[in-house]
């Protein structure tokens, strides 16, 4: 938690407690259903929580917005973002149901009330739209954008919201991937946001809905 408080210092007591509880909850559940590698558990707040909160440094998600976490896995970036933005609704989707069981149990135990989950492939989500889609290291940018754009509403229901679009966290050399995607995303180097060596060659991409 000290690492999180190094970069964020305006949490309420409830948010602080929720964030502090995550490590023990994930450690306990990970012994039953493996969703995080041992190395990542040992560096839980750096590899998962702080990485997820990169999005909060550039995007002020507004109350009433609806966010889809595409391929959420064990709940990242959706769970930390749901704590950070308690008045925003987060819908976490994954094709592996046991991972969603972990998300649901941790959300309940940590009293995170703005999370819903859906066991589905993103291609099968019908008749629903969101203000923004977030994702972490799930698929190439071109695929993410192909799946996401039909699920993004053109205008947000929230006042003064950022333009609707896709926000994703990725690593490595993205030059070819971006070229092949036919997207023109905004790109941030995460190691210029958080001065931790872990974030070298890690990026945040934002593709607004045109």
Q: What is the pLDDT of residues 143-202, one digit of tens each?
A: 999 999 999 998 776 776 677 999 999 999 999 999 999 999 999 999 999 999 999 999
75 annotated as ligand-binding: no
The angle subtended at Cα 107 by Cα 132 and Cα 134, nearest 5°, is 20
Q: Which CATH number covers residue 33?
A: 3.40.50.150
Domain that holds residue 35: 2-208
pTM over 0.85: yes
| pLDDT tens-digit readout, 25-83 | 999 999 999 899 887 899 999 999 999 999 999 999 999 999 999 999 999 999 999 99
Per-residue pLDDT at 210 exceeds 90:
no
85 annotated as ligand-binding: no
Q: What is the pLDDT of residue 114?
A: 98
122 annotated as ligand-binding: yes
Burial of 76-93, coded b for 16+ CB within 10 Å and e otherwise, reads: bbbbbbbbbbeebbbbbb
123 annotated as ligand-binding: yes
159 annotated as ligand-binding: no
Q: How many domains does the structure of the chain reveal? A: 1
């Amino acid at each position: 938690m000290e690492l999180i408080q190094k970069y964020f210092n305006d949490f309420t007591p409830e948010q602080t407690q929720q964030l502090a509880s995550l490590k023990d909850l994930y450690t306990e559940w990970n012994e039953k259903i493996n969703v995080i590698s041992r190395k990542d558990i040992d560096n839980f707040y750096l590899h998962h929580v702080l990485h997820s909160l990169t999005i909060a440094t550039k995007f002020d998600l507004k109350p009433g917005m609806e966010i889809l976490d595409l391929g959420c896995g064990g709940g990242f970036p959706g769970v930390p973002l749901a704590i950070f933005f308690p008045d925003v609704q987060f819908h976490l989707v994954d094709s592996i149901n046991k991972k969603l069981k972990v998300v649901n149990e941790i959300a309940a135990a940590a009293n995170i009330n703005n999370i819903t989950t859906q066991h589905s492939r993103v291609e099968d989500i019908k008749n629903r739209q969101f203000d923004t889609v977030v994702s972490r290291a799930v698929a190439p940018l071109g695929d993410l954008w192909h799946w996401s754009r039909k699920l993004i509403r053109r205008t947000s229901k929230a006042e003064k919201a950022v333009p609707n679009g896709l926000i994703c966290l990725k690593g490595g050399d993205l030059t070819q991937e971006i070229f092949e995607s036919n997207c023109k995303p905004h790109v941030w180097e995460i190691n210029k946001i958080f001065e931790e060596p872990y974030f070298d060659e890690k990026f945040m991409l934002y593709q607004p809905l045109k």
